[in-house]
Amino acid sequence: MAEILRNLRRRVRSIGNTMQVTRAMAMVSAAKLRRAQAALASARPYAEKITALLARVAASVPGDFGHPLFARRDQRRIVLVLFSGDRGLCGAFNASIIRQAEQFLAGRGKGAVDLYCVGKRGRDYFRRHGWTIVEQVLDLRGRVDFQTARRIATHLQESYIRRATDAVYLCYNAQISAMLARGRIEKFLPLDPGAMGLKEMGRAATEYIFEPSREEVFAQLIPRYCESRMHAVLAESLTAEHGARMLAMNNASKNCDELIDAITLRMNKARQASITKEIGEIMGGAEALRR
């Protein structure tokens, strides 16, 4: 009985140490979540303004938009940009986005789709399954970095312009709330006027005089739009990751607390049974002596 009680006490101490770690990780994730949400909120006004500006200018251009990023081609070669986490312990965050990507890839062969992986978890999974990884961005350390977004957007734009790819899709977890994220796949290139709201803006189109030229104006606006869009997606993915990790660590702490209560109850029952047994033995011995 003493050995059983010793083992139970050891388990309680071990689970208590684990609970301290999970609580600390939950607090760290909560702090990172607040910073990521602040970065996402601060990036939205710029993204909205650059989108509205591009919409107004593009709506005034008759016919096509005269820029290669608007040109549509047969999708013989596709690049899927997969946003996953560099680490685990974030619930179903990585598993759900990998499952979303697998659904997108299900009807396409490995020779038709290349992967651009942002995060180690997605990279490792699809590398094991034989998919081509054309580029990877790792070790973001949970921070939203505009320079990283610019580097990714520039690489994708250059690939599309030189016809190395015919379409680019983004696969990421969009944050619905602090506790809920949902996988989403959307087209990044070619640029879609309908998705950007250009059709609605076109109803009230204004005729502009382009200086120095229409091509130069688009050459400045379109890269900035792509960079801001990529930055927003990166911020959403990191925000969803921190929210998922905070929720997972809070649940782990709650489970540890419940497990400690259950083991403590079991330990008390074992101690009570031991005491009851000893009392019974003493009473039995005393009764034998009376006889």
Q: What is the pLDDT of residue 154?
A: 92
Sign of CA dihedral 189, 195, 200, 203: positive
CB 105 within 8 A of CB 113: yes
Instruction: Let me know if domain 27-247 sits in CATH 3.40.1380.10.
Output: yes
The angle at the Cα of 102, spanning 87 to 97, to the nearest 5 degrees, equals: 35
Q: What is the pLDDT of residue 200?
A: 47
Question: Over 50: is that where the pLDDT of 203 sits?
Answer: no
Reported confidence tier of residue 279, pLDDT bands at 50, 70, 90: confident
CB 29 within 8 A of CB 242: yes
Cα–Cα nearest to 85, from 232, 239, 188: 239
Each residue of 115-142: pLDDT tens digit? 999 989 999 999 998 888 999 988 887 7
Reported confidence tier of residue 82, pLDDT bands at 50, 70, 90: very high
Least confident piece of the model among 126-130, 155-159, 264-268 = 264-268
Strands 167-177 and 78-83, by their bridges, are: parallel
Task: Name the amino acid, one letter, at 209.
Answer: I
CB 152 within 8 A of CB 81: yes
Omega before 45 within 30 of 0, i.e. cis: no
Question: Would you put residue 87 in left (φ > 0), alpha (ψ -120 to 50) or beta?
Answer: beta
Listed in sequence order, the DSSP H helices in the chain are 2-59, 93-105, 120-128, 146-161, 193-196, 198-202, 214-290
What are 99's two structure tokens? Answer: 């499952």
Cβ-proximal residues to 37 (8 Å cutoff; 6+ apart), any chain? 178, 239
Q: What is the pLDDT of residue 63?
A: 56
Question: Over 70: is that where the pLDDT of 2 sits?
Answer: no
